Amino acid sequence: MSSHTVSTSLAVATLGTPRIGPRRELKSALESFWAGKSTEADLLKVAAALRAANWARQSARGVSVIPSNDFSLYDQVLDTSVMVGAIPEIYGWRGGPVSLATYFAMARGTQAEIAGHGCANGHHHGDSTPQGVPAQEMTKWFDTNYHYMVPEFSAGQSFQLASVKPLEEYREAKALGYDTRPVLLGPVTYLKLGKSADAGLDVLSLLPKLVPVYIEILGRLAAAGAKWVQLDEPALVLDLDDRERLAFRDAYGQIARELPHLDIMLTTYFGGLGDNLDTALALPIAGLHLDLVRAPKQINAVIAKGPKDLVLSLGVVDGRNIWRADLPDLLDRVEPIVQQRGAERVQLAPSCSLLHVPVDLELETGLDPDLKSWLSFSLQKMGELSTLSRALSGDRAAVQDQLSASAKAAATRRKSPKVHDMAVSSRAAAVTPAMTQRNSGFAARATLQHQRLQLPAFPTTTIGSFPQTAQIRQARAAHAKGAISDADYNTFLRGETARAIQWQEKVGLDVLVHGEFERNDMVQYFGEQLSGFAFTKEGWVQSYGSRCVRPPILFGDVSRPKPMTVGWWKYAQSLTGRPMKGMLTGPVTILNWSFVRDDVPRSTACLQIALAIRDEVGDLEQAGATMIQIDEAALREGLPLRRSEWKGYLDWAVECFRLCSSGVKDETQIHTHMCYSEFNDIIDAIAAMDADVISIETSRSKMELLDAFKTYKYPNEIGPGVYDIHSPRVPSVEEMTTLLQLARQRLSDGQLWVNPDCGLKTRGWDEVQGALVNMVEAARQIRQVS
Ligand code: GLN
Ligand code: ZN
């Protein structure tokens, strides 16, 4: 392009931004409000300041299509439920404006409190929010680590515009000088994410009642001056049936008929449209956003088949990961599209909302400078997009420096010895099928293990962690700040470990754990000891509500410089004659809870972690461990959104688990643990993992999750959780014997172990004490009747 042609500059959109604030200001404000230490006005003031700062930062970084209503005090799906008045009766809402008390009751539940005491913060006098109501269910947002509040619909469900938050935030931005593009969760995805409280109610059948509410709010946005709105419909990247596809046609057809002058940017993300492409292209929309990071090739089909005047929003910068883009490379990809469509019909964007990446890389002062030069957080990604836009708008010379810097970073990363370790890649290349195979089949191993371990029937154990008390957290924080010496901290942790072990012996558990007091987090603890991982100081990403996580960054080839857990295991085992489980986090879980490098396939990165864990398993066995547990809490979470891709993922995930666990002798017992998951559709993969013992979360399903194992005739041993560790309630002996009897109806006595649903780190000692005493008694009673 010649530099004197004044061409339209390409629009840059963010689709949505992190709302927690660069220093987690929203978290502090929320938690202070919930604790009754600040008022509603204080909270709302912080929220408004965060929005204003967010708009200002986007504008300063050249974002031209700035979103509004991407902010939320808790969750955008909850906001949508509140907007359309889908507020279950138990929350006591009787129409009219929805109070913050109702909103937070849906998000967090309310305490059952002494009559007359009211809300903890005392600012909602006169509010009718009932006490002791549970929060709405929470679940994962597609395949991210963000959790949303599941909408709940009843048979007589009606909708009404109960909150005009999108309008308020649009006007708020306008008053500050930003003409924004409001973002709303689209009606079809919204319904599809919901569940029905009444059996037989098909949530999609509610669409005709819901769409008028959308039309009302969209109409008001248009009247207030919004030219465009962004409707998020990520459900379009899922496997859909014809009825669901029809629902899109109906909903958008109706909206377009009622609001012919409002331009809709329909956003799809977290994958390609695939077989829903024709559905999307047939909708009466003005713009379509495509995830071109996960599905780069779909652009060709969209250009070939789509209407010529459709505005294409190209999601070319990764909104799910923290890597810096290679801008000259992107430029080559985008330029032909711009030339073909015309600049006014192309927008540049991240693949999805920037909600899923940390706010600002500049806050990281401790990162290796090379690594830092390869990264990009939300603010940097905005900068990358606007550099691209300027380069494509005939201003290439002005951004030449940025382009060169980007290319240079990409080149250093490709060659850096910090990323590439020949020893690791050659070891990975030398992995043989025999390495993923135990010496003997399960039956032969089990015989040897039983002879060696001499455990009673229905052996009792726990999942690994014991309460992380305030005292432990304080000691860890003090140690991290340097206020406690390594030696003192170690002595303290040894004391805690010793007490936990004595306590388990006293209660009468058969297989003990050391308690995991030395671990900050089950992934971070290992990441910090492996090479190839880095950690940020402020790289927080919202997980749900005020909760944030700081995922490790897996940037290079993984190796284990030295044993990670052997010292702690040895110490723990030295204190007891009972078997002490070695306790590790599995490769798939470490991978799924990290930001993972994008220069090799995920399977390659996972295989490297598996080799490192395999070494640790070997060292534990060498040190004398008779049982080693390798947790794969996040195995199911990693399933791709499309069914057709499940097998590919499960194949390598199972292979990696087998690789890390198969290097031991037959008599060494391998355990694994998985959190709440549906097992029916992945039971083959679970069986293929071939762990000698698997503990799973089952208590809330009344052991129904074991049906999959029964039908499959699953042969190995299983510890179905006999009590829910998420609740502070201490279960009775009888509740647990009842559950064990239900388990016995599905599995043979010789297969069963007795344990809680998950680790106990979030519980208090008094709860744990009561529950485990009862659990051991329940096992004793079952042994007598069996
Ligand atoms: N061993 C871990 C613990 O007990 C397992 C945690 C998990 O499954 N999330 O804490
Ligand atoms: Zn668990």
Q: How far apart are CA 266 and CA 315, in angstroms?
A: 13
Q: Which of 781, 736, 786 is nearest to 756 (CA)?
A: 736
Distance 761 CA to ligand 2 centre (A): 11
Give the ligand 1 atom nearest the CA of 629: 1
In terms of average pLDDT, the best of 4-13, 107-116, 386-395 is 386-395
How confident is the model over 3-53, as pLDDT tens digits?
Answer: 333 356 899 999 999 999 999 999 999 999 999 999 999 999 999 999 999
How confident is the model over 560-603, as pLDDT tens digits?
Answer: 999 999 999 999 999 999 999 999 999 999 999 999 999 999 99
Q: Which of 272, 283, 290 is nearest to 247 (CA)?
A: 283
Q: How far apart are CA 517 and CA 503, in angstroms?
A: 15
Whether 632 is in the pocket of ligand 1, judged by its Cβ within 6 Å, is no
Q: What is the pLDDT of residue 7?
A: 52
Q: Report whether 663 contacts 611 (CB < 8 A).
A: no
Q: What is the pLDDT of residue 125?
A: 39
User: CA separation (Å) from 366 to 329, 372, 542?
Assistant: 29, 9, 22
Q: What is the mean pLDDT of the chain?
A: 95
Residue 74 carries which DSSP code?
Answer: S
pTM (2 d.p.) = 0.95
How confident is the model over 57-100, as pLDDT tens digits?
Answer: 999 999 999 999 999 999 999 999 999 999 999 999 999 999 99
- Binding annotation for L-methionine: 463-465, 516, 631
3-state secondary structure of 364: coil
The helix or strand, by DSSP H or E, that contains position 29, with its residue range, turns out to be: helix 25-34
User: Can you state the angle between helices 76-83 and 165-175, rounded to 10 degrees?
Assistant: 110
Whether 673 is in the pocket of ligand 1, judged by its Cβ within 6 Å, is yes
Q: How far apart are CA 32 and CA 126, in angstroms?
A: 22
Which amino acid would we find at residue 532? G
Distance 364 CA to ligand 1 centre (A): 29
Q: Report whether 254 contacts 215 (CB < 8 A).
A: yes
Q: Please give the share of the chain, as a percent, with pLDDT higher than 90.
A: 92
Q: Which of 204, 182, 184 is nearest to 193 (CA)?
A: 204
DSSP state string for 560-603: -SS-SSHHHHHHHHHT-SS-B-EEEE-HHHHHHTSEE-SSS-HH
Q: How far apart are CA 608 and CA 445, in angstroms?
A: 27
Whether 674 is in the pocket of ligand 1, judged by its Cβ within 6 Å, is no
Q: Report whether 595 contacts 419 (CB < 8 A).
A: no
Ligand in closest contact with the CA of 464: 1
Whether 758 is in the pocket of ligand 1, judged by its Cβ within 6 Å, is yes
Which amino acid would we find at residue 422? M
Give the ligand 1 atom nearest the CA of 633: 8
3-state secondary structure of 66: coil
Going by pLDDT thresholds of 50, 70 and 90, the confidence category of residue 129 is confident
Distance 670 CA to ligand 2 centre (A): 16
Give the ligand 1 atom nearest the CA of 761: 10
